[in-house]
């Protein structure tokens, strides 16, 4: 393995988060082409199934990750609880934010048909979503974070699975948003009233 590849490998080992290629090149003191060659060499060294580690590209950066084969053994060794799973309300809210971002809490509430304050607060506390400005009406807008991308193994939100295997036009997106809002409103209207 080349000296530069060893340096890049060490930098990735030291970093708990994915490292942007530009940051890797700057830290290693090399240009983009040299870095690309070093990463290609590491890709060969860490080909899936070849070692206990893999080179991953997530959240716009590069990271070393353990081979999924070692997951159970790592759990036993570390005996550390994993991140608690998302509740159904949190998962619904996160999906709405991921696909419609930036989106406001009132919009999320209208789509889900139930209050979204608790779910959005928890997702924000856990670092999955963050504020992304304000709507024209003053409501806080939310978007997903790099932690969301990292935990879901995505390079960007463009890598999200397609909702319906089609690339909607702006008109289709507006129509989908309206349909989701109407469905949420209908859900509220159909909910049993407390006695």
What topology is assigned to 3-78 in CATH? Arc Repressor Mutant, subunit A (1.10.10)
Task: Say if residues 130 and 145 touch (Cβ distance below 8 Å).
Answer: yes
Encode pLDDT of 27-73 as tens digits. Answer: 999 999 999 999 999 999 999 888 999 999 998 999 998 888 888 88
Intervals of CATH 1.10.10.10 along the chain = 3-78, 88-190
Distance separating alpha carbons of residues 158 and 162, to the nearest angstrom:
9
Please tell me the pTM assigned to this model.
0.50
Encode pLDDT of 69-90 as tens digits. Answer: 888 888 888 776 566 788 989 9
Instruction: Tell me the CATH number for domain 88-190.
Output: 1.10.10.10
Instruction: Output the six-digit token pair for 140.
Output: 């806080």
SS3 assignment, position 154:
coil
Task: Say if residues 177 and 168 touch (Cβ distance below 8 Å).
Answer: no
């Amino acid at each position: 393995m080349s000296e530069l590849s060893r340096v890049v490998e060490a930098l990735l080992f030291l970093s708990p988060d994915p490292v942007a290629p530009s940051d890797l090149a700057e830290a290693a003191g090399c240009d983009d082409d040299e870095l690309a060659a070093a990463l290609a060499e590491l890709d060969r060294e860490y080909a899936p199934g070849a070692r206990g580690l893999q080179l991953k590209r997530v959240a716009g950066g590069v990271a070393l990750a353990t081979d999924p084969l070692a997951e159970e053994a790592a759990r036993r060794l570390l005996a550390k609880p994993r991140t608690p799973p998302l509740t159904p309300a949190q998962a619904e809210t996160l999906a709405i934010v991921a696909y419609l971002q930036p989106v406001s809490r009132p919009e999320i509430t209208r789509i889900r048909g139930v209050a979204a304050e608790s779910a959005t607060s928890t997702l924000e506390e856990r670092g999955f979503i963050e504020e992304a400005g304000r709507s024209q009406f003053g409501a806080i807008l939310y978007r997903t974070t790099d932690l969301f991308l990292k935990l879901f193994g995505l390079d960007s939100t463009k890598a999200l699975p397609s909702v319906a295997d089609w690339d909607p036009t702006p008109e289709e997106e507006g129509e989908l948003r309206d349909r989701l809002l109407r469905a949420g409103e209908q859900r509220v209207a159909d909910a049993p009233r407390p006695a």
